Structure 1
């Protein structure tokens, strides 16, 4: 485990093999790894500009230097960073208040995403680090909605870091990186791929709020994998029928998740059968195009209810998403358990 050494003061090694002179560049590096945030930021931007015009051989030497242990340990010591959450907890007395000037890494995250990505990709700072306020660097990228940065950070982090709290601040209520990732489909899927490898009980890693967010993008495959680890989306949907509307409104392909919910005995509320669309409402337009059941004729509505009573969820699904006339529905053998049941439905349909 990496340990923050606040007294790290090892002499800076030279850049390259000593054949070339790097006078100006070395002075910028000395400024970069100092305790003065303003000087460090200025030096970082000078170095970034240098990358655009320098000779490839020089850039190779510079890359090797910036990716060295010395550069990383200097950043931790000079910028008051912490390698992991445990060390943040152990050193809370060293944390700055939010009113103080932030460290270089935090400034870059808020003001210069390109510079922030440069620091991470060079390995000068690691995605699992926490800043001088006790926030994880991932949280900084999350606050700026830097999707590409978050994807890269998660791809290089170990699973154990993904379920650690993203901040010691009370306002974040101990939420983990995994929980924060639940607001974005791509970021969460990358995160879950890594967390799913852990031989741990993951049932408590996601709370109801995150599961609501996941319902806006999860498909059958992801829902099944979560279920296998003790996280059942259907339990949350059953508690709050408004989630059906949210899924239709935000999910790009809700039918896949609907299939999974129905297979797990989670059915849409009766309100969906009685809903009448407003032609001027964008939400109602989405409903009509993604969930045609509420707009079916009374005959289809009855047959759907009958299929549910018979326990034929496959029939309910077919009735919901295959837009065919009620007279055709009664001819499908898959709808009812027996010919007698089918005939009974036809008779009741005529009386309905």
Structure 2
């Protein structure tokens, strides 16, 4: 009888003999989890004065802890929940009208986006006082609604280390995670924030995201930075100064987005203001008070153009540029004397008219509205004069 080949045998295959080799030892770290390392560093600092490692407690957070201690605060004390009266809330809204008008569209979008999360978006003024906040709809969110009422002071002196206080103190984008808060009672809170600056470059306010129950489930820093940039762009566009609005971007698809650079160019061809994106693209050439990185004649030729134009900045970088005149008029902007050469005096009425307009522009620091008002003519006539001079 023929034997059945072994591969068709119904008998179970013999088990392999186990080897006696030892597994490679697993590296052991003293504190494998970031939260545990932070907790230990916090305890050692507050109890023994031992400075934590930079990769455990960021310098920004440590400096805030030191300021709180210097002010006599106790990290184990439970601070009183800050409140604000209706009168104070009304005063805060009135004092921040421009900021609130610029932020309202983005705050409405944030309310929609965050509605199903335990996260709130909080707009604060330059001093860290709440000007507006979205409303968390999750039932487990209990502490945040009491903290984020309009008029509530969230500065460092009132609530310890937190993003509104860090923003008002440093003006820098920041994040505070759990035990990085100065007060032990706030260790479950996580927050991320970005600044909003005005046309003078000063801090106008800040936008923060707050999570009451543990870390964010998304990149909060990236989201808050994008929305803060959008608010800043809208605030700059609404600035009452009489300027030529210049949009610059690394790609045409970035125009009219939070990634675009914005420049306000006065009637004398100097930079009146710029946002952070414009400073990143143009470098020192976008410094307020200096001549525009792009010639005024070139910028004026872009007004009314349907498509952006690729132009080279003084640093050699090619950017896509749009330019437009604002629809509003307002206060004069700081500017030096006009850099444009005076027109040739040929004795004609047109030359005399040009001299008068140039003199009015010089007297009013390049402000088109004030120059037109002083001469009793329309702003459009002054702009046509500028186009002729630079075109």
TM-score by length of 2: 0.28
Greater relative CO, 1 or 2 (CA 8 Å, sep 6+): 2
Between structure 1 and structure 2, the one with the greater Rg is 2
More strand by share: 2
Higher helix share: 1
